[in-house]
Amino acid sequence: MSVKIDLEDFRHGTELLKRGFAKMQEGGVIMDVVTPEQAQVAEDAGATSVMALERVPADIRADGGVARMSHPDLIKGILETTSIPVMAKARIGHDDEARVLESLGVDMIDESEVLTPADPFYHIPKNNYTIPFVCGCTNLGEAVRRIVEGAAMIRTKGEAGTGNVVAAVQHARIVAAEIDLITRSTSQEFENIASTISNGFRRIEEKSEHSLSLVDTPLGSINDLHAGVMEVLAEIKEMRRLPVVTFSAGGIATPADAALLMNHGMDGVFVGSGIFKSENPETTAEAVVMATHHYKDAKKVAEACGMMAGKPMDGLELEKLDVRMEERGW
């Protein structure tokens, strides 16, 4: 007897199924798009998913002000246009933006530092949702806390909207070095690292004028969160990598950038402004996908670089930025 498989069951539900949907993105490129037409360009180029938003990170950075969840009509338009999965961004800690996105039927939510954070103390309790989440990190502690909260995918943050890959490389190297630290740790060192990471859930204590000692948080009890940290770190020690699919993001603008991050051990890449701020988005999109798929083959990466018709997006020096999005989140 044949068994009917509903794809929705893979997109929504248990932690295993949510991680399984994230696993389906492995080895691919996820592209930011702001119109149905751009979504079609991304799909035609071979993107595994698109990220629907009103403005690419470069425009969010240039415009300033408060950046929020995209309008539902824009997201619906992209959902109706493309046959590949559609993701959308919610502000850090903004449960209700996430609930709206879940109700719209997107396939994954990015709790993103590209948008203006809504909560200075807590991220969204992602275990309370049936839809998978992806979250950014700059180090192992951030990655572990997001996984404990329920993230099914992690991406290094980089510095979005800059066309400058240096922060993405920095975060990839830091996470790798700290994973190596965990794999070599003694029992006592392991406990100390776990306590340091768990203390990240106590940020509100630092801001109170009273001597707070948290027992419970919107994410669960402090004891349960610490137990979760210990469990995730034990997985990392055994696997010698994060236990979820790990992408890179922030500043990837060329095929060579994509190959560079893949060679740093990433499972795939997010490309935001790098596609549609280039002179020829169609060839840039195809070239980035090709380089991501063939990152170990220098001749193929060179071929991908040669496919680009026109210049990549203009880049920004990180030292001259007024806002460092990578610093958002905790």
Rounded-to-integer distance, Cα 241 and Cα 265, Å = 9
Which distant-in-sequence residues (6+ apart) come within 8 Å of 108 by Cβ?
11, 21, 22, 49, 85, 87, 131, 132, 133, 134, 152, 153
Residue 157 falls in the annotated catalytic set: no
According to DSSP, the residues that pair with 88 across neighbouring strands are 52, 109
Amino acid at position 313, single letter: M
Catalytic residue among 18, 23, 76, 89: 89
Q: What angle do CA 274, 275, 278 make, to 5 degrees?
A: 80
HSE-CB of 11 using CA atoms within 13 angstroms: 14
Bridge partners (DSSP) of residue 50 are: 31, 86
Active-site residue numbers? Answer: 89
